[in-house]
Amino acid sequence: MEGGDLGHGIELSADATERMMSFVEDAYPYFRSITGEGVRQTLRRASEITPVELVEVPSGTPVLDWTVPDEWIVREAYVVAPDGTRLFDVADHNLHLLGYSVPFRGTLPLDELKEHLYTDPELPDLIPNRSSFYVPRWGFCAAHRQVEALRPGAYEVVVDTELVPGSLTYGEIVVPGEEADEVLISTHVDHPSLANDNLTGIAVAAEVARTIATTRHRYTYRFVFVPSVIGAITWLARNPDVVPRVRCGLVITGLGDSGAFVYKRSRRGATLIDRVAEVVVGRSPGAELIDWYPFGYDERQYCSPGFDLAVGRLSRTLHGTFPEYHTSGDDLSFVDAGQVAAAAQMVLDVLGAVDANDTYRNLRPYGEPRLGPHGLLNRVGGGGATAAYEQALFWVLSLSDGDHDLVAIAQASGLAMATIVEAAGRLLDAGLIGPDDGAGGSVPG
C-alpha cells in the first residue's frame, strides 16, 4: 500500500487520533518500571497500532558502563493504619509504591513509617513519582496532606515485591527505506501511571511508524521504545552496527499537554535534524528552540560524545516546569487529543523534511530559465499557495549552487519546507536542476 511520498508531505490519517488516545487510556493503569511485565504489556498494546518487536536482554548483561538490573515483580503493596484502614494501596494507584521497592513486611510506629513515605509538600494533594532503582529501599509515595493527617500508632506494612534475574524489555520497529541510512525515533516506556510524560511519546511513535510504513521514503526509520537511561544504554550497547548508519534522530516525549512545541538541539547543535527543526518546528506558533544541555531524556545517551549522534528532542512544555510533572496530576485529563494529533503531524513533517532534503545544482544557471515553456507555471490550485510555489521556484534555482540544501533554502527564503520541496521536485522533473554530483552546470560556448 503506497500512501504517497513521505518527503512531499503526509497527512495523519483520520482515525489516528482515536487510535493514539485509546492506547493512552488503556495503557495508563499498566504497572510500568524500567523492567517487568508492565513494559511488555504496554508494548503489546502499542502493537495494536503497529507491530512492535519485543527484545529481552537478560539481567546481569553488561551494557557500556552499566549492568542490566534484576527484574522487578510487584504482587501487592499497602499499609494498614491502626484503625484498620488500608493506605497507599498500589492497587489504587501505581504511583503509591516507590519504584523498585525491595520486599518488606512488618509493623512500625508512625515515626519509623514516615522515614519510608515520600511526599511533595509544595503539591500537597498530588502523589509524587519516586523510584530507587540502584539503591535498595522500600517506600510509599502519597499526598502530603494525607500523610500529615496520620495519627500515631502501629502501622502494618506489606511490600510483596521481588527482584529476580529476568530481563530488560525494549521495543523496536524498523521501517525499511530505499537507503540503509537510518533515522532514529526514541521514546521511553518506563514511567508508571503518568499519561503525558511517557504514553503520548509511545502513541505518537507507533502511529508515525504505522503511517511511514505506507509511504515511499528514502531513509530506513527505526523506532525504539526503551526504559529511560538503562534502556537507551542497552540499545546503544547492542547495536554497534546500526549506530554508524544513524543519519539523525529525535527523542519524543510529553506531547499531549496544552503547551507549544519545544525542540532541544543535539549536542553538536547545527546538524541536519537541528536545521530541519528550525524551519519546521520553529515556525509553529509559540515554539521554542533551546540549546543542548546534558540532562533530560535519552538524548543524553545518543548525544554522549562517543556516539555523538545528531539526535534532538521534541516535546511540548519542558519537563520539570509544570506542577503536574512526575505526579498523579499527569493523568488522562492532562492529555489533550488534539495536541497529541498535532504532535504526530509535527513529527511526520520533521521526518518528511529530513527525507526530502538534498542538495541540487542549477543546470541552467546563466540567467533565469523561462518557467512557462518548461511547464512549471501550471500548478493546480491558486492563490497564496501558488504564489509561494512560484517564489520557491526562483529561490531553488537561485540557491542550487551545490552549497545550499533545501533546508538552507527554506531558511533563507522564509518559505515553508513543503513548498520548497514541491518546487524542487518540479524543477528536477523539468531537468532544470540535477543532483549535486559535481557534474552539473553547463557553461555556454
Q: Is 338 helix (H, G, I), strand (E, B) or coil?
A: helix
Strand order in the sheet with 220-226: 53-58, 167-175, 220-226, 182-188, 246-252, 311-315, 262-264, 288-290
C-alpha cell read off for 58: 537478560
421 Cβ neighbours under 8 A, 6+ residues apart: 7, 8, 9, 352, 353, 356, 406
Q: Please report how close the Cβ of residue 10 comes to Zn ion at its closest, in angstroms.
A: 29
For Zn ion, which residue of 197, 278, 298, 422 counts as binding (CB under 5 A)? Answer: 197
Q: Please report how close the Cβ of residue 330 comes to Zn ion at its closest, in angstroms.
A: 9
Shorter beta-carbon distance to Zn ion: residue 210 or 326: 326
Q: Which DSSP helix (H) or strand (E) runs through 360?
A: strand 359-362
Shorter beta-carbon distance to Zn ion: residue 98 or 432: 98
Q: Please report how close the Cβ of residue 297 comes to Zn ion at its closest, in angstroms.
A: 7
Q: Which stretch binds Zn ion (CB under 5 A): 26-34, 190-198, 218-226, 374-382?
A: 190-198
List the beta strands (DSSP E) in 101-256: 104-109, 117-118, 140-141, 154-164, 167-175, 182-188, 220-226, 246-252
CA dihedral 202, 203, 206, 212 (to 10 degrees): -130
> Which residue bears the cell 549536542?
267
Q: Which stretch binds Zn ion (CB under 5 A): 90-98, 193-201, 212-220, 239-247?
A: 193-201
Q: Please report how close the Cβ of residue 319 comes to Zn ion at its closest, in angstroms.
A: 6
* Number of chain residues interacting with Zn ion (CB under 5 A): 1
Q: Which stretch binds Zn ion (CB under 5 A): 77-85, 191-199, 309-317, 402-410?
A: 191-199
Shorter beta-carbon distance to Zn ion: residue 298 or 436: 298
Shorter beta-carbon distance to Zn ion: residue 197 or 207: 197
C-alpha cell read off for 244: 554508524
CA distance 393 to 362: 11
CA distance 209 to 258: 24
> Which residue bears the cell 521481588?
162
Q: Please report how close the Cβ of residue 433 comes to Zn ion at its closest, in angstroms.
A: 45
Q: Please report how close the Cβ of residue 320 comes to Zn ion at its closest, in angstroms.
A: 9
Shorter beta-carbon distance to Zn ion: residue 50 or 228: 228
Q: Please report how close the Cβ of residue 259 comes to Zn ion at its closest, in angstroms.
A: 15
Beta bridge partners of 303: none
Q: Which stretch binds Zn ion (CB under 5 A): 20-28, 51-59, 119-127, 197-205?
A: 197-205
Shorter beta-carbon distance to Zn ion: residue 71 or 197: 197
DSSP label of 422: H
CA distance 442 to 445: 9
**x/- map, 213-252, Zn ion, by CB under 5 A:** ----------------------------------------
Q: Please report how close the Cβ of residue 326 comes to Zn ion at its closest, in angstroms.
A: 6
Shorter beta-carbon distance to Zn ion: residue 130 or 268: 130
Q: Please report how close the Cβ of residue 132 comes to Zn ion at its closest, in angstroms.
A: 15
By CB under 5 A, residue 330 contacts Zn ion: no
Shorter beta-carbon distance to Zn ion: residue 197 or 278: 197
Judge whether 362 and 432 are in contact, CB under 8 Å.
Answer: yes
Q: Which stretch binds Zn ion (CB under 5 A): 194-202, 244-252, 283-291, 360-368?
A: 194-202
DSSP label of 128: B
The footprint of Zn ion on residues 254-313 (CB under 5 A) is none
Binding site residues, Zn ion, CB under 5 A: 197
